[in-house]
Amino acid sequence: MQVNVTPASPLRESRTFTADERRFEVLYRSHFASVTAYARRRFPARADDVVAETFLIAWRRLEQVPEDALPWLYGVARRVVADLLRSTRRQAAVAERLVEAGLTETAAPELPDGQLRRALAALSEEDRELILLVYWEDLEPARAAGALGCSRPAALTRLWRIRRRLRAELMSSSND
């Protein structure tokens, strides 16, 4: 099926676009800001690459993108960040900075709240991603579960435990 893009779209030049292209454009425009913010929070130095690779994967796998696309896009972006970080780690200077900061694949760089940064670094990568999806990406727990490929009840239980663990870590470090 062929559909015309909306008049406001800069894609409207002298051609028509397929339904897939139209669908992707809507997806891209709807979620570009969220994916960009996610990338800048997780890996600011390569944020543009993360955004580009994430949407490229979305385009190639458009038939797999669910109706509620944002959690799926976060899940893809997370893997892209991990891949880029791995290759970046091989560059010694960056790797040293990451290790010194106690930062790992999904932690935010250079958090001014050092106590919180250490508490987050003590979490597993998946737990940290879950809590950051909820508090930084403002994703409801059920949608965060979708981004991580776990069930909603599992995400809720994990969130409950993560919050308890974080509070304990913060309490313990504030008592040091």
Using CB under 8 A, list all residues that contact other proteins. Answer: 10-11, 20-21, 24-25, 28-29, 32-33, 36-37, 40-41, 44, 51-52, 55-57, 59-60, 62, 79, 82-83, 86, 89, 98-99, 102-105, 108-113, 115-117, 121-122, 124-125, 131-132, 135-136, 138, 140-142, 153, 156-157, 159-160, 163, 166-167, 170-171, 174
Min CB(108)–other proteins separation in Å: 5
What element of type H or E holds 2? Answer: strand 2-3
Choice between 6 and 102, CB closer to other proteins? 102
For residues 66 and 165, which CB has a smaller minimum distance to other proteins in the complex?
165
Torsion of CA 80, 83, 84, 88, to 10 degrees: 170
DSSP 3-state of 155: helix
Tell me how far, at minimum, the Cβ of 161 lies from other proteins, in Å.
9
Q: How far is the CB of 68 from other proteins (least distance, A)?
A: 14
- For residue 75, what are the contacts with CB-CB under 8 A and spacing of at least 6? 146, 147, 148, 149
Spell out the residues 6+ positions from residue 61 whose beta carbon is closer than 8 angstroms to its own. Answer: none
Tokens of 45: 């130095």
